[in-house]
Amino acid sequence: MEVKPGYKLTEVGVIPEDWEATTIGDVCAFSGGSQPPRFTFRFAPTAGYVRLIQIRDYKSDEYVCYISELLARKRCTADDIMIGRYGPPIFQILRGIEGAYNVAPIKATPNQRADREFFLNVLKQESLFQLIDALSRRSSGQTGVEMPALKAYGLPLPPIAEQRAIAAALSDVDALLGGLERLIAKKRDFKQADMQQLLTGQTRLPGFKGEWEVKRLGDIGTFLKGSGVRKDEAHSGNLPCIRYGEIYTHHNDHIKRFNSWISAEVAATSTRLKHGDLLFAGSGATKEEIGKCVAFVDGCEAYAGGDTVFFDLLA
C-alpha cells in the first residue's frame, strides 16, 4: 500500500508521521462505582447518588436519589466522563453529572497523554458505538459494554497541542448544531400550536365549514400489542422488526429504516404490521418515552416486538 509523504501505515490505519498508534486502554483508566445495600436509601439524604437511569435522562431531577455521605465511596464530578455500561440503549456517554455513582455507570479518566475533551469525542465515534453494540448482542441477557474490547479499540493519537485544537474545532461545530437544534425546537413548538388549533377545530382552513363528529378511538380503530422478541432474537434473520425501545431511540414521526431483523420462526409468533399502523412505546424510562408514537408507512413485511402497542385503523 502506497503511503503519501508525511504519513505512515500503522495498525490503526494510515496516520500522520507525528501521530501515535495506541489503544483506548493505554490512555484511559476506567473506574466502576459501588452499590450500597438497598436499605441505606432510607437514611437522611446527604449525598447525591448517580444511577444508570440518570445517564439516560440526566437533565431530569425525577430520577435523582440520595444516600448517606458515609456510603458515598465512588464519586464523579461535572467534568468527569461517565459511561452507561448496561442497556438498552447501549454505551451512553455524557458529562455534567455529579455525586456518588453505582456499579452501572463507569468513570473514564484519560491520563496525561490524552486531552479530556479530545478523548470525549473519541468515545462518541459512530464506529465505536457500532462495535460495542454488535459485541453486546452476543449475550442473551441484559446488554452490556465489553470492557476488554473497549480498552483494545485502536486510537490514532495526535500530539497534545493538536488534540486540543481538534477538540476546540469540534466544540465550535457542536455550538453551531446546538443553535440549529434550538431553532428546530422553536419551529416544532410552532407546529404543536398549529396542530392544537387545527385538530380541535379552533382554527378552520379556508373552504371548510360545518360541524365535526365526536368519535372514540375505539370507534375508528383497534389497539393491539406486539408479541415478544427477545434480545437474542432481534438479529436472527432478515425480516424487519420494530422493538419498543427503538421507537424513542431511533425513530421520529415515521419509520424510515429498521434496526432489528428476525427469522421466519420468530416472525411466526410475532404481530405483523400493516401500512398506516401507528406504533406506541408501551414503556420507557421517562414520560417523554412512554407513549411516543411513530407511523409505519412502509408497504413491506414487518413485525412488532413485545411492549410495542399499535393502533390499527379500520378500513
Asked if residue 59 and residue 144 are part of one domain, the reply reads yes
Most confident range, picked from 23-32, 44-53, 217-226: 23-32
With a threshold of 0.85, does the pTM exceed it?
no
pLDDT of residue 142: 52
pLDDT of residue 260: 87
Taking residues 105-110, report their average pLDDT. 87
Asked if residue 223 and residue 151 are part of one domain, the reply reads no
Nearest to 137 by CA among 85, 87, 83, 82: 87
Asked if residue 153 and residue 29 are part of one domain, the reply reads yes
Nearest to 257 by CA among 244, 270, 269, 246: 246
Please state whether the peptide bond connecting residue 156 to the residue before it is cis, i.e. omega within 30 degrees of 0.
no
Model pLDDT for residues 257-281, shown as the tens digit of each residue: 888 889 999 998 888 888 888 888 8
Q: Which of 103, 126, 157 is the last residue before a domain boundary?
A: 157
Q: Is residue 305 in some structural domain? A: yes
pLDDT class for 291, splitting at 50, 70, 90? confident
Please state whether the peptide bond connecting residue 89 to the residue before it is cis, i.e. omega within 30 degrees of 0.
yes
Q: Give 64's DSSP letter.
A: -
Number of domains in the chain: 2
207 versus 135: which is more confidently predicted?
Answer: 207
| CA 179 from centroid of its chain's CA atoms | 21
DSSP states of 197-254 as a string?
A: HHHTTSS--TT--SPPP---HHHHEEEEEPPP--GGGTBSSSEEEE-HHHHHHT-BSB
Is 90 exceeded by the pLDDT of residue 135?
A: no
Asked if residue 242 and residue 150 are part of one domain, the reply reads no
pLDDT of residue 315: 60
Question: Domain containing 253: what range?
Answer: 219-313
